[in-house]
Amino acid sequence: MSSFAGRMKEYPNISLDRFDRENLHARAYFLSHCHKDHMKGLKGPLLKRKLKFSLTVKLYCSFVTKELLLSNPKYGFWEDHIVALELESPTQISLIDEASGEKEEVVVSLLPAGHCPGSVMFLVEGAQGTVLYTGDFRLAEGDASRIDLLHSGSRVKDIRSVYLDSTFYDPRYYQIPSREACLSGIRGLVQDWLSKSAYHVVWLNCKAAYGYEYLFTNLGEEFHTQIHVNSLDMFKKMPEILSHVTTERATQIHACRHPKDEEFMRGTRLPCGMWASDGTPLKIISIKPSTIWFGERTQKTNVIVRTGASSYRACFSFHSSYSEIRDFLSYLQPINIYPSVIPIGRTHADVTELSDGLFEQADLAPVRKRLMIQEIPLTNLPHPPVDLVHLPLTPISTADYLDCTESNDEEDEEDEEDSDLGKEEEEGERVEKKREGMEGSDSVSSPCWEEFFTTEILTDSQNNSQNSQPPTCSHTIPSIPISAGLGLNQADTMLIQSEDICQGDATIETGWKESASHTPQTEPVNLSESQMSSDFEVPSTPDSHPPGPDDLLVLYRSLAAGENVELTKLDTNRLIHQ
């Protein structure tokens, strides 16, 4: 969850994704996407009052975000103060102090973020340099090179600071299967189940948040059915999504939700009931999108995990993985990086508490050892505070991954009463397939997920014509691969064994169904070589140029003091070359 306070050092007159406290004084507001944790204060009475008396204060966001925001009446008072901007269209914005008339000019561009519909990053250019606020994002490796506005001619722009979605900027989340791989896994599971009979239905147990829509549209397309959801209101101007959802419950794919009693209806009931219209009981499996991550030095190619007789988890992430973030940062080479997210599972108190006893050699030794056998020179990426926080907690050692038990061992055994279902499902078991690692070139067609995530809405006078000319996918800039193609080792096999032990017979691992039989071109979405290959390549173990005890001490004192730690290149060099 974002803990970004709302303002950037370079441009303190604007506020992004935070609207309370100091941000009440901002001259302009920016909303990167329509998730509640980025909307703090946005419906507050203080802000409401400020708007009433202001002629110049605006909220800038994408068209889709505007539409989603205004579909909630609580934000209706923003209507006359929202300026929707086109993607990748630099826009000059005057930041006017209404009291003094003082003025500052900035040029802001919205870049696709791939996090949820309408999500964008904000590129701000002005007298204090070029800075990038990423909001939340999921970009695949190499995507930065496809965003024109990050470049000036054939060069990457000089970026002073990146305000970073660091949700998974932690080696523990080194690799997350790509969107395409996750979608393929889900598609395969759904295919197996739905094909059994018309009474076999799938419940996608999605959280109450935007970001699953591409799942709906892709599955809807694939299975020629609409997805049952609670409400269509927010999508009424988004035909691309609207055409794939319905409030009619007579469909085989559901993503409906029930406010109260989700827990006891998992598996054998749908939130909307358990009987077909003719009285036949439905045969239901639930698929819960979750973020699965890869342990140190392991590689999971399975994206579906069975967690009960009729329940599954499917890998699904709204956020870029550690390696995707590193790729992004190594491409942009910003001077400063400001992580916006407190490490998952850690609170500020944790950080404070951890600053004792961190510097024992025993904790750092395994990291150093790994470093010595590191064969691949990695880029001079800074290690942000989040990394440092985790190093002592998850010391890297070669012995660790064998007992690696990820989250799945604690999955509840859900309704087992229907043993019939359980048996049937085992037929759906899938063999893992791997693709040998190869660095992809970006010369083939780009995936353009970004285009989906920023699907422009239909206004009365518009149609979708702009969708036919994706502006976001140029191929002129070669990507800089940072992961080394080490190829596969036995790690994933071992991991699967360990999981089997953990979970017993109830768990069936299913992997990506095909790989040889599908060519990327036959997929509903064109996949680039680089994206296909990156899913199955085993990246080298995350580097660690370990900071020395002195460096850690300085950083931890800052962290413990609650300071906003700024890691600059200077710091990085100190850390790396100490």
Site for DNA in 418-447 (CB under 7 A): none
Give every CB contact of residue 475 below 8 A, 6+ residues apart in sequence.
146, 442, 443, 446
Sheet holding 28-30, edge to edge: 14-16, 28-30, 59-62, 82-85
Nearer to DNA, 39 or 458 (CB): 39
Residue with tokens 């219209």: 277
Residue choice 171, 185, 211, 382 for contact with DNA (CB under 7 A)? 211
**Among residues 250 and 501, whose Cβ is nearest to DNA?**
501
Provide the minimum distance between the beta carbon of 284 and DNA in the complex, in angstroms, as a whole number: 15
SS (H, E, C) 388-421: HHHCCCCCCCCCHHHHCCCHHHHCCCCCCCCHHH
> Do 317 and 114 form a contact (C-beta atoms < 8 A)?
no
List, edge to edge, every strand of the sheet that includes 336-339.
Answer: 91-96, 103-112, 120-126, 129-133, 161-164, 336-339, 567-568
- We find the least distance from the C-beta atom of residue 224 to DNA, in angstroms, to be 27
Determine if 177 is a binding residue for DNA (CB under 7 A). Answer: no
Q: How far is the CB of 405 from DNA (least distance, A)?
A: 8
Classify 366 as helix, strand or coil.
helix
**For DNA, the closer CB: 1 or 198:** 1
Does 175 participate in binding DNA (rule CB under 7 A)? no
Distance linking the first and last C-alpha atoms of the chain: 33
Report the SS3 class of residue 447.
Answer: coil
Query: Does 172 help bind DNA (rule: CB under 7 A)?
Result: yes
Q: Are 123 and 132 spatial neighbours (Cβ–Cβ below 8 Å)?
A: yes
Give residues 6-35 in contact with DNA (rule: CB under 7 A). Answer: 20, 35
Among 98, 410, 436, 563, which residue sits at the site for DNA (rule: CB under 7 A)? Answer: 410
Q: Which of 5, 9, 37, 332 binds DNA (CB under 7 A)?
A: 37
> Site size for DNA, by CB under 7 A?
36
Which residues 499-558 are close enough to bind DNA by CB under 7 A? Answer: none
Q: Is 373 exposed, middle or buried (0-12, 13-18, 19+ CB in 10 A)?
A: exposed
Residue 22 or 420: the one with the smaller Cβ distance to DNA is 22
Q: Which residues pair with 133 in a beta bridge?
A: 122, 163
Minimal distance, residue 398 CB to DNA, in Å: 20
Site for DNA in 290-329 (CB under 7 A): 290-291, 293, 316-319
Binding span for DNA by CB under 7 A among 149-157, 257-265, 371-379, 500-508? 257-265
Contact 123, 149 (CB under 8 A): yes
CB atoms near residue 553 (< 10 Å): 14
Least separation in angstroms between residue 106's CB and DNA is 26
Q: Which of 407, 463, 497, 564 binds DNA (CB under 7 A)?
A: 407
> CA-based angle 348:350:351, to the nearest 5?
65
What is the residue type of 445? S
- Which of 115, 237, 269, 434 binds DNA (CB under 7 A)? It is 115
By CB under 7 A, is residue 454 in contact with DNA?
A: no
Residue 28 contacts residue 13 (beta carbons within 8 Å): yes
- Cα(289)–Cα(315) distance, rounded to whole angstroms? 6
Backbone angle region of 333, left / alpha / beta, with phi > 0 → left and psi within -120 to 50 → alpha:
left
CB of 230 vs DNA, minimal distance in Å: 10
Least Cβ distance, residue 505 to DNA (angstroms): 21
| Residue 377 lies near DNA (rule: CB under 7 A) | no
Q: How far apart are the C-alpha atoms of 314 and 317, rounded to whole Å? A: 10
Does the footprint of DNA cover residue 38 (CB under 7 A)? yes
Nearer to DNA, 59 or 477 (CB): 59
Q: Provide CB contacts within 8 A for 203, sequence distance 6+.
A: 254, 255, 256, 270, 271, 284, 285, 286, 287
Least distance CB 444 / DNA (angstroms)? 29
> For DNA, which residue of 12, 44, 485, 520 counts as binding (CB under 7 A)?
44
Task: Choose which of 271, 289, 308, 366 interacts with DNA (CB under 7 A).
Answer: 289
Please report how close the Cβ of residue 483 comes to DNA at its closest, in angstroms: 22
C-alpha closest to that of 405 among 497, 312, 305, 301: 497
In the complex with DNA, the residue whose CB is nearer, 47 or 131, is 47
Q: Count Cα neighbours of 185 within 13 Å in the Cβ-side half-sphere.
A: 32
Exposure of 291 in the CB half-sphere (CA atoms within 13 A): 17
* Type of residue numbered 428: G
Binding to DNA by residue 136, rule CB under 7 A? yes
Residue 218 in the binding site for DNA (CB under 7 A): no
Q: Which pair of structure tokens corresponds to residue 265?
A: 């209806």
Minimum CB separation of residue 167 from DNA in Å reads 6
CB of residue 348 to DNA, shortest distance in Å? 10
208 near DNA (CB under 7 A): yes
Nearer to DNA, 72 or 467 (CB): 72
Which one of 3-11, 299-307, 405-413, 471-479 is the stretch in contact with DNA (CB under 7 A)? 405-413
- Least separation in angstroms between residue 267's CB and DNA is 12
CB of 215 to DNA, least distance (A): 12
Q: To the nearest whole angstrom, how small is the minimum distance from the Cβ of residue 253 to DNA?
A: 19
Does position 269 bind DNA by CB under 7 A? no
Please give the helix or strand (H or E) that residue 222 lies within, else none. Answer: helix 213-223
For position 36 contacting DNA by CB under 7 A, the verdict is: yes
Those residues whose C-beta lies under 8 Å from the C-beta of residue 103, and which sit 6 or more positions away, are 94, 95, 96, 97
Kindly state whether residue 207 participates in binding DNA, applying the rule CB under 7 A. Answer: yes
In Å, how far from its chain's centre is CA 233?
Answer: 25
345 binds DNA, rule: CB under 7 A = yes
Which stretch in 49-57, 150-158, 220-228, 284-292 sits in contact with DNA by CB under 7 A?
284-292
- Min dist CB 234 to DNA, Å, is 11
Interaction of residue 576 with DNA, rule CB under 7 A: no
Positions touching DNA (CB under 7 A) are 1, 20, 35-38, 41, 43-46, 115, 136, 167, 172, 207-211, 259, 262-263, 289-291, 293, 316-319, 344-345, 406-407, 410
